[in-house]
């Protein structure tokens, strides 16, 4: 900047141009888990302003995110960012939870099952703390295991109620020229988190093989469960030969194989795996004296993704584990600094 002075010399006004350098405030200060940018001005001098932004997974707890360079230096203090946590979810007493619902940071998982063997989950088997600080779904509840009275093609239920409790037997018969698919009567059973009839109540029609002999068809019962996944369409009690079902993986999981399984002569074929994501725990990073590299906000990463770390403070990496690591089916190796 410059200043113009006027002075009277020998009865004449003289004009003097003087250049003055603006006062520097120096560096505004680093904020942990945050980055800053110059929002006003071109350097850290009088009148300039900087704005701090928390990294992904963190939230600003200071009243302001700005600092201004004044005649007395930078005003205020360096803003503070704290790790973002999801609120404590309300979980029923009869639901088991695997994980800490009272201390869940972004990316953390909670898994659920029922305490009582005669109950099944109603809702998701797992939820995760999303980047907006909210759970991606509401926690499930546990309800009494009950099977629904089925509709049997070419058959009918002899007696019973609309719903059956666990271990109750279904009495049914088949229309003329049809026979039960299994001599054993179906029983209401628990399969994972579902209530199903085992064996499947079905009436099989006669069919002819290539050699002309009469035999029964080979349909399939309900398809097998998929860890960390589910069936895309509504579940049926019976599937015909050559019929397919499509599977989907839960959020953040990567499918390997699939997505279809096929009913072939009473057996389900097709290999499907839902590869698990990796979570980078803040406590584990602190124990290893590392942090996510600046600009990298992925605390929750899918299988095959890479995460890059760096040492905290002035520490140096020790050992042979590189800073850049890949998530492999829920497992990621952390480097260490000392």
Secondary structure (3-state) at 166: coil
According to CATH, where is 2.10.70.10 located in the chain? 2-83, 278-337
Q: Strand pairing partners for 275?
A: 254
**CATH number of this structure's domain 278-337:** 2.10.70.10
Mean pLDDT of 320-328: 88
Percent of the chain topping pLDDT 70: 88
| Residue 297: predicted pLDDT | 52
C-alpha angle 261-266-270 in degrees, rounded to nearest 5? 20
Who's near 187: CB < 8 A, 6+ residues apart?
A: 167, 168, 169, 170, 197, 198
Whether 74 shows a pLDDT value over 90: the answer reads yes
Architecture of domain 2-83: Ribbon (2.10)
What tokens were used for 319?
A: 């050992």
Mean pLDDT of 105-132: 85
pLDDT-derived band at 211, boundaries 50, 70, 90? very low
Whether 39 shows a pLDDT value over 70: the answer reads yes
Distance CA 120, CA 134 (A): 25
Is residue 186 within 8 A of residue 164, CB to CB? The reply is no
| Predicted structure pTM score | 0.47
Alpha carbons within 13 angstroms on the beta-carbon side of residue 31 total 27
Mean pLDDT of 147-175: 89
Whether 217 shows a pLDDT value over 60: the answer reads no
Distance CA 87, CA 130 (A): 11
**Per residue in 177-209, pLDDT tens?**
888 887 788 999 887 778 888 888 888 876 533
**Per residue in 238-290, pLDDT tens?**
888 888 899 988 888 889 887 888 888 788 888 899 999 988 878 888 899 99
Who's near 69: CB < 8 A, 6+ residues apart?
A: 23, 24, 25, 28, 41, 44, 45, 46, 47, 48, 49
User: Which fold would CATH assign to domain 95-144?
Assistant: Complement Module; domain 1 (2.10.70)
Which has more pLDDT, 154 or 241? 154
pLDDT-derived band at 336, boundaries 50, 70, 90? very high
């Amino acid at each position: 900047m410059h200043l113009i002075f006027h002075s009277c010399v020998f009865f004449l006004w003289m004009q003097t141009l003087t250049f003055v350098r603006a006062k520097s405030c120096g560096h505004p200060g680093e904020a942990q888990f945050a980055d800053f940018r110059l929002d006003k001005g071109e350097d850290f001098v009088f009148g300039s302003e900087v704005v701090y932004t928390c990294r992904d997974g963190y939230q600003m707890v200071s009243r302001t995110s700005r600092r201004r360079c004044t005649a007395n230096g930078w005003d205020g203090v360096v803003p503070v960012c704290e790790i973002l946590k999801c609120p404590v979810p309300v979980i029923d007493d009869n639901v088991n939870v695997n994980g800490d619902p009272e201390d869940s940071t972004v990316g953390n998982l909670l898994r659920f099952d029922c305490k009582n063997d005669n109950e099944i989950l109603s809702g998701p088997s797992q939820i995760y703390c999303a980047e907006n600080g909210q759970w991606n779904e509401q926690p499930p509840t546990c309800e009494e295991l009950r099977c629904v009275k089925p509709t049997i093609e070419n058959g009918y239920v002899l007696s019973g109620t609309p719903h059956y409790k666990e271990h109750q037997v279904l009495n049914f018969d088949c229309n003329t020229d049809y026979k039960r698919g299994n001599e054993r009567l179906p029983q209401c059973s628990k399969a994972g988190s579902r209530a199903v009839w085992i064996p499947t109540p079905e009436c099989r029609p006669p069919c002819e093989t290539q050699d002309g002999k009469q035999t029964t068809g080979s349909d399939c019962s309900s398809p097998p469960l998929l860890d960390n996944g589910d069936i895309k369409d509504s579940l049926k009690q019976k599937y015909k030969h050559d019929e397919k079902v499509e599977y989907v993986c839960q959020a953040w999981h990567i499918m390997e194989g699939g997505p279809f399984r096929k009913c072939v002569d009473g057996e389900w074929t097709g290999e499907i795996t839902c590869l698990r994501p990796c979570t980078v725990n803040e406590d584990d990073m602190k124990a290893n004296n590392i942090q996510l590299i600046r600009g990298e906000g992925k605390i929750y990463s899918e299988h095959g993704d890479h995460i890059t770390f760096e040492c905290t403070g002035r520490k140096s990496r020790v050992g042979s584990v590189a800073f850049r690591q890949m998530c492999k089916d829920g497992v990621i190796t952390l480097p260490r600094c000392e």
